[in-house]
Amino acid sequence: MSDSLSAIWTWLYQYNGALIVCVVISTYGLSIGRPMLQTGAVQLPNAEVLRFAFPLSTTLLQQLIASIFILLSGCILFFLQPVQRTWLSAFYKPIPPTDTRLDDYSGAENTREVLHPAWDPNDARRIVALAGIIATEYALTSYAFCFAPLEIYIIFRSLVLPISILISKLVFSNQETFPVAGKTYPSLLLSLGTVVAAYRHDLPWPSDAVWCAFLSSIFGAIWPVFTQYAFVSTPVPENNSRHTGGYFELPRGSKLQDIPQSIFTFWKYICCVSLSCVALLFAAVLISTELQQVSRNFYISGVLFPWLLLQIQVGFFRFIFFSSTLLLIRATCATTANFVIVLAYASQMTILTFSSLLSSQKIGITVCIASGVWFLKDHRQSLGTLFYWLEKPSLPRNKEYFKFFTLRRILITAIVMVSCHIGFQIRGFYRTEAQSPLFSPPTPDHDAYLGPRARPDILANLDLLVDECRGPYEKPEKLRDVRRCIDYLATRQDTYFQVPEAGQAVTATVSKQGSDDSNCGGPIILYHVWWSGPPSWRTELFIKSYFYTQRLACSRLWIWINVDHHPGALTNWIKHPSFAKFLSFIDTGEIALKEWRLPSRVPISPTIDPLDRARYYEQPGKPNSQGEVFVADSIIRDASGQEYIQFYKPGDQTQLTFYTVASSDAARLIILHLHGGVYLDVDMLLLRDMRPLLLPGRPFSERWGAHADPTLYNNALVALPANSSMSSYLLTSGTRMGLMYHFMILGRMMVSEGRNEVDAKNGLLKLESAFFDPPWPAMDGMATGRCLVPCLKSWSDVFKARISEDEWSAYDGEMAPVSEHGNNRTMENFFRGAWAYHMHNQWNAVYEQGSWIDVIARGHDRFFAGAGTNAYGEKWTRKILSQYGTES
């Protein structure tokens, strides 16, 4: 067992391929477990919705978990070690020469036994210094991961290699440690390629996070060199003709220091360093104010176990990274380890980026791969050692094994590898292929299937609707029976629509009165959508569905165009051919195009939620030069006494604007806080007039599928009164938790503090999926009872002409024959009773002739051409709108 254990140690020490693989995998593990704002990127499960935006505490917890794994690994090694007289004897083991092959090592008799006293960490300064450098680098990295895009961190990682080479030149000035062409040039080429691979013109540069990324790179370059200099110099075996002075060993003549000479000694060393890191980070957390912030701003209701599991996963990757990097430094040198780390981070741009790569980024990745191959190619003997474990022990060693690495083959291989990675990011790859239509959709006998529109002052009894579709809060036994709910919505309007009682105040979600000629007779309600990019047929579908269903005299549509990184986006919208048909409605005020820029702060009213008021500091700090002072987390008061929610420092930048989904999450809350109304995602298709739901003025959102978990809200549709206690509560809470506006995070907070639907007066009401997203529970396999009409099995079914076997399985009416003359696909049979249909993105889908979307588009075209009515029997009396697929 002892010989086997020593042989394993020799293998890890000599065959560095395993160490390189461990370092690369662990860097990916750390990156995909970082607290992210965006969706769609590769990430550990729940890494976004369990985001913990407290860098010091995060680093401490993950390093503590890594230390536990280190201790466990030591226990495993101890039990594998044969019983010794004393524990200390385990730290005196013979070590074979560094280039002894694994199959040649059969015991101590085949090696030159070198007994060295166990390394004793009597020099506490080295331990503390190294632990301090590593802990600082980890903490700065955590801050950069929290508050800057991954691209920013990778850009500054490119500084590691030049700094590492410079420091090594100074530390090892009396040694020929760096063959210029073999090590320095590939390293500099990799640094340049890393910058090009990660840089984007639209990157935000948050000042604090940028400084943290920069300082993290400096410390990341220092600690491997410090480790090599202080502890990890490896003696060259004497009288060993097989030893080569290749890259993966330190050069001959190096003045070497005593180092751990057994696996147990090395384990003891990394254990001491790791525990010292924990102690230093613990002291830093105590000195800082993070613990108080965590206690005020972190909610683990119902997610403690998933959150701990996420931290354990990241802690395990930190353990692998920490141990394998130290082993790689011990087996090779600091520059090798840094080269592998930088190359691993640069390669992450092909996998972990959330958006399509630019052409310049593809070139940068190609340069990085070529530099990596060049780096290894110039050390063929070392490559032989690196990949020797692939050879069979019985075969003679072929020293010319890697002669096939020519410059042309290196470049071709790099280009092919990058092309394979990037080819899957081509947008057209996921497009729905158009198929020949089986039939044309029928022209319905009548379009007015909903009957006359309700009066403009009619209110929906939201409590009754929730009770019918959910049941009691404590036992929501009805929420999965979507068919029962949607049938109630379609047939019982006389029950849940009510005329306001005499003297009852009608408080709209937005308090804006219409003009005398508006024919509204009540408050005008704002409908908000947010969009990043040019207009398309999807935006046209939403706008037309709004015109088709809503009471236009009492409604206004505000389209917010994201201009944070595209200053001319609003002008492009106005000039875009597909939006030209709607320009006349801008003149009448029925549509308003608004520029969206994330403000640094927004004002809040004195009617702030009492829970937020209770979180104010007992003793605010000193005012700044402008007389402003923070009175609570994320709340600042100016010299005049006006209070603001501050998202980032004025004049600075924030990573939030870089991520479209996260920016959209913030935008909807800010817009509703400032203006009130209802926010809808553009991929929602309106089917009924929403005014009766909005007129009571109660804040509400929708349920996440059919999950009974009270924390699961969906923010695809949100209605909030302007400058209300609920709007300021949600906005303040997301800001103080680190700009986290995902409703899964805010939902945990609302449930923990009693601001969810359990509080009918002060909470955020949750309407069921049948209202705005009927097929979602069935898509998740959670629906009970009869299927809906139509009975869809996939989100893409609405774009396809083919009729599935189950589509009409729950239809109670008379079936029309499926032929070239049509079928039962009419708007009347499309989730009748629901107020909206949510397409759940499907941005690249193309609808086919005869599909459900085609049926709806044709119904719109008839209405806007004056050839038919809408669902309420109303005629279109304004300017004729051109059909889908035409520009004006």
Considering only residues 428 and 787, tell me which one the structure prediction assigns the higher pLDDT.
787
Same domain, 348 and 479: no
Q: Quote the mean pLDDT of the chain.
A: 80
Report the distance separating Cα 300 and Cα 314, nearest Å: 18
Share of the chain above pLDDT 90, in %: 44
Torsion angle (degrees, nearest 10) of CA 845, 851, 853, 857: 120
d(Cα 455, Cα 182) in Å, to the nearest integer?
A: 81
Length of the chain: 888
338, 474: one domain: no
Cα separation, 737 vs 265, whole angstroms:
43
User: At residue 562, does pLDDT exceed 70?
Assistant: yes
What are the tens digits of pLDDT across the range 183-235?
Answer: 788 889 999 999 999 998 888 899 999 999 999 999 999 999 888 876 544 34
Both 463 and 420 in one domain: the answer is no
In this structure, are 418 and 469 located in the same domain? no
Helix (H) or strand (E) holding 365: helix 359-377
Q: What is the pLDDT of residue 375?
A: 80
Which tops the pLDDT comparison, 238 or 597?
597
End-to-end CA distance of the chain: 82
487 inside domain? yes
Does residue 818 sit within a domain? Answer: no
Q: Can you spell out the DSSP letters for 277-322?
A: HHHHHHHHHHHSSHHHHHHHH---TTTHHHHHHHHHHHHHHHHHHH
Rounded to the nearest angstrom, the gap between the alpha carbon of residue 17 and the centroid of all alpha carbons in its chain is 31
Q: Is the pLDDT of residue 244 over 60?
A: no
CATH number at residue 735: 3.90.550
| Among the listed residues 567, 825, 658, 498, the one whose alpha carbon sits nearest the alpha carbon of residue 152 | 658
CA proximity to 834, closest of 783, 769, 761: 769
Query: Which residues lie across from 718 on neighbouring strands?
Result: 679
> 559 versus 242: which is more confidently predicted?
559
Q: Are residues 486 and 396 in the same domain?
A: no
HEC per residue, 376-432:
HHCCHHHHHHHCHHHCCCCCCCCCCCCCCCCHHHHHHHHHHHHHHHHHCCCHHHHCC
- Rounded Cα gap, residues 572 and 562, in angstroms: 12
Q: Which residues, in sequence order, are CB contacts of 41 under 8 Å at separation 6+?
A: 352, 353, 354
124 by Cβ neighbours in 10 Å (0-12 / 13-18 / 19+) ranks as exposed
> Nearest Cα to 281, choosing from 460, 423, 140?
140
DSSP H or E run through 198: helix 185-198
pLDDT at 535 over 90: yes
Residue 785 placed within a domain: no
Residue 196 maps to a domain: yes
Residue 107 scores a pLDDT above 50: no
More confident residue, 402 or 860: 860
Mean pLDDT throughout 663-669?
A: 93
Whether 357 and 412 map to the same domain: the answer is: yes
Mean pLDDT of 710-737: 92
* Of 378, 405, 425, the domain-final residue: 425
pLDDT at 680: 97
Q: Are residues 193 and 46 in the same domain?
A: yes
> pLDDT higher for 136 or 391?
136
What does the pLDDT average to over 240-260?
A: 37
Are 545 and 495 contained in the same domain? yes
pLDDT, greater one: 95 or 177: 177
CB 711 within 8 A of CB 730: no
Give tens-digit pLDDT for 738-753. Answer: 888 988 889 989 998 8
343 and 270 belong to one structural domain: yes
**Same domain, yes or no: 468 and 384:** no
pLDDT given for residue 607 in this prediction: 76
User: What pLDDT band is residue 389 in, cutting at 50, 70 and 90?
Assistant: very low
Structural domain includes residue 84: yes
Based on the domain organization, do 498 and 382 belong to the same domain? no
Instruction: Kindly state whether residue 790 falls inside one of the protein's structural domains.
Output: no
> Which tokens hold the place of 505?
């105040």
Q: Enter the tokens of residue 577.
A: 């051919």
Q: Are 235 and 256 in contact (CB under 8 A)?
A: yes
Whether residue 91 contacts residue 265, with contact meaning beta carbons closer than 8 Å, is answered with: yes
Is 70 exceeded by the pLDDT of residue 8?
no
- For residues 202-226, one letter each, b for 16 or more C-beta atoms within 10 angstroms of the residue's C-beta and e for the rest, the string is ebbbbeebbebbebbbbbbbbbbbb
pLDDT single digits (tens) 428-456: 333 333 344 455 666 666 788 999 999 99
Confidence of residue 605 (pLDDT cuts 50, 70, 90): confident
- Last residue within a domain, chosen from 734, 753, 770: 770
Q: What is the mean pLDDT of residues 680-690?
A: 96
pLDDT at 684 over 90: yes
Beta strand residue intervals within 625-748, DSSP E: 629-632, 635-637, 643-646, 677-680, 684-686, 700-703, 713-720
Q: Range of 714's domain?
A: 459-599+657-770
pLDDT at 851: 92
Mean pLDDT, rounded, for 406-434: 50
What pLDDT sits at residue 208?
Answer: 92
Residue 563 has pLDDT above 70, yes or no: yes
Q: Looking at residue 768, what is its pLDDT?
A: 95
Q: For 241, which DSSP code?
A: T
- Specify the pLDDT at position 401: 41
- Quick one: pLDDT band at residue 294, thresholds 50, 70, 90? confident
232-249 in b/e form (b: 16+ CB < 10 A) is bbbbbbeeeeebbebbbb
Q: Decide if 389 is inside a domain.
A: yes
Token pair for residue 792? 């869809």
Is the pLDDT score of 236 beyond 60?
Answer: no
Mean pLDDT of 11-38: 76
Q: How many domains does the chain have?
A: 2
Q: Which of 294-298, 628-632, 748-752, 785-789 has the lowest average pLDDT?
A: 294-298
Pick the last residue of a domain from 754, 770, 786.
770
**Residue 782 belongs to some domain of the structure:** no
Report which of residues 73 and 174 the model is more confident about: 73
What's the confidence (pLDDT) of residue 441?
64
Q: Are residues 497 and 375 in the same domain?
A: no
Output the pLDDT for position 818: 63
What is the pLDDT at residue 669?
96
